[in-house]
Amino acid sequence: MQLTHALVRRPTSNFAAGLTTANLGSPDYTLALAQHQAYCTALRQAGLQVIEWEGDAQYPDSCFVEDTVVLTPHMAIITRPGAASRRGETLAIANYFAAFRQIVHIEAPGTLDGGDVLQVGHTFFIGLSERTNEAGARQLAELVQREGFHTRLVPVHGVLHLKTGLTAIDTRHFVGTSWFAEQLPDLEVFVPPQEEWYAANSLPINDWLLVPSGFPSVRNFVTRLGKKTIEVPMSEFQKMDGGLTCLSLRW
Residues with catalytic function: 161, 246
Q: Please name the residues in contact with 148: beta carbons below 8 A apart, sequence gap of 6 or more.
A: 122
Whether residue 7 contacts residue 53, with contact meaning beta carbons closer than 8 Å, is answered with yes
Tell me the three-class secondary structure of 113-156, residue by residue: CHHHEEEECCEEEEEECCCCCHHHHHHHHHHHHCCCCEEEEEEC
Closest CA to 39 of 196, 217, 250: 250
Residue-wise burial string across 92-106, b where 16 or more C-beta atoms lie within 10 A, e elsewhere: bbbebbeeebeebbb
Q: Please name the residues in contact with 185: beta carbons below 8 A apart, sequence gap of 6 or more.
A: none
Q: How far apart are CA 75 and CA 12, in angstroms?
A: 29
